[in-house]
Amino acid sequence: MTLDPNELSTQALYGYLSTAVAPRPIAFASTVDAEGRVNLSPFSYFNVFSTVPPILVFSPIRRGRDGSAKDTLNNVLAVPEVVINIVNHPMVEQMSLTSTEYATGVNEFVKGGFTPLPSEAVRPPRVAESPVSFECTVDRVIALGEGGGAGNLVIARVVRIHIDDTMLDAAGALDTRKLNLVARMGGNDYCHASPASLFEIPKPLRTLGMGVDQLPAHIRNSSVLTGNNLGRLGNVERLPTEDLVERIRSRPEVQRARRRGTEHLHQLAQDYLLEGKTEEALAILL
Ligand SMILES: Cc1cc2nc3c(=O)[nH]c(=O)nc-3n(C[C@H](O)[C@H](O)[C@H](O)COP(=O)(O)O)c2cc1C
């Protein structure tokens, strides 16, 4: 199906956008109003958009029912500061509770049972339970529309980073496997980036992968190899030498697979790919 967004209700549009553009990280934003009253709310229209300067952007949307502004938006317009706290699995239920539409002035640190810690460079406190917190000053707020559903880009410049030391690896870097981050999917679904759900892809930045287009047609058109298999093969810098191909061909398992036919040979290459032996897999296919 193909859709024209102009013909969709706000609710339907939200459903397609927020279910397809996922998983989304969650900015747990702490702000204060002009009187210093604290507010804490989650926003999954959120990401990092610049390293130097360090810029995070999130978007409080105008309410679909009446186009009214959320407290977080009013607060950053009044006091251009925010602490963006990162959300991980041990705090996800409490975080969800704080998204309740409590009356203006209600402190969601209290409602969610979170511990506020004073910030160093900005007025809003940070969340002690968060594995990482970014103190930010707000550079700009860009309204993307005026009615219900309209986003407001809050462009936040990081001025301090607080990291829970238990989230670091031996080299002092943040360890994805310790962070246990969560992300927002469509509807009520969340995603847990637990160690078991992670997988690695060798970065193609340091090498100049030859590209899928350079693979011989019988590999590209294989009925066994998947798009992921071809992507991995295309990341190899050049076709293996005749010498390597010869050596691989003499292996008994390769000879057996060849005798049984192309599909078996490609399945064997696929097994090699799963084990990370990309060049040998390519040699088998050749
Ligand atoms: C995980 C999660 C992500 C959310 N993301 C957004 C978002 O990106 N933009 C938005 O306007 N509301 C989002 N919401 C809803 C707000 O958190 C909710 O409207 C909240 O009450 C706003 O609080 P405030 O009026 O105190 O700012 C999200 C809620 C949850 C639970």
- Which tokens is 81 given? 């500061």
For residues 118 and 62, the answer to whether their CB atoms sit within 8 Å is no
- Which tokens is 36 given? 């210093």
Could you count the other beta carbons within 10 Å of the beta carbon of residue 124? 25
Instruction: From 32, 99, 141, 152, give the residue whose CB has the most ligand 1 atoms within 8 Å, as the site to mutate.
Output: 99
DSSP label at 60? P
- Residues of the chain whose pLDDT is less than 70? 205
Take atom 16 of ligand 1 and give the residue whose Cα is closest.
Answer: 99
State which H helix or E strand residue 234 sits in. helix 227-234
**pLDDT score, position 256:** 96
**pLDDT score, position 206:** 74
The ligand 1 atom at the shortest distance from the C-alpha of residue 46 is 8
The ligand 1 atom at the shortest distance from the C-alpha of residue 96 is 31
Take atom 4 of ligand 1 and give the residue whose Cα is closest.
Answer: 43
Residues 6+ apart with CB under 8 A from 12: none
CA 114 to ligand 1 center in whole angstroms: 17
Q: Is 101 in the pocket of ligand 1 (CB under 6 A)?
A: yes
CA 267 to ligand 1 center in whole angstroms: 47
**pLDDT score, position 203:** 76
The ligand 1 atom at the shortest distance from the C-alpha of residue 70 is 25
For residues 156 and 75, the answer to whether their CB atoms sit within 8 Å is no
**Rounded CA gap, 125 and 135, in Å?**
9
**pLDDT score, position 12:** 96
**Rounded CA gap, 275 and 282, in Å?**
13
**Rounded CA gap, 240 and 232, in Å?**
14
**pLDDT score, position 214:** 94
Q: What is the CA radius of gyration of the chain?
A: 25
CA 278 to ligand 1 center in whole angstroms: 44
Could you count the other beta carbons within 10 Å of the beta carbon of residue 243? 9
Phi, psi of 208 (to 5 degrees): -110, 90
Question: Which overall architecture, per CATH, does domain 5-196 show?
Answer: Roll (2.30)
> Could you tell me what percentage of the chain is helix, strand and coil, using 3-state DSSP and rounding each to the nearest 5?
35, 25, 40
Q: Is 96 in the pocket of ligand 1 (CB under 6 A)?
A: yes
**Rounded CA gap, 21 and 34, in Å?**
34
CA 20 to ligand 1 center in whole angstroms: 18
Per-domain residue ranges for the chain?
Answer: 5-196, 212-285
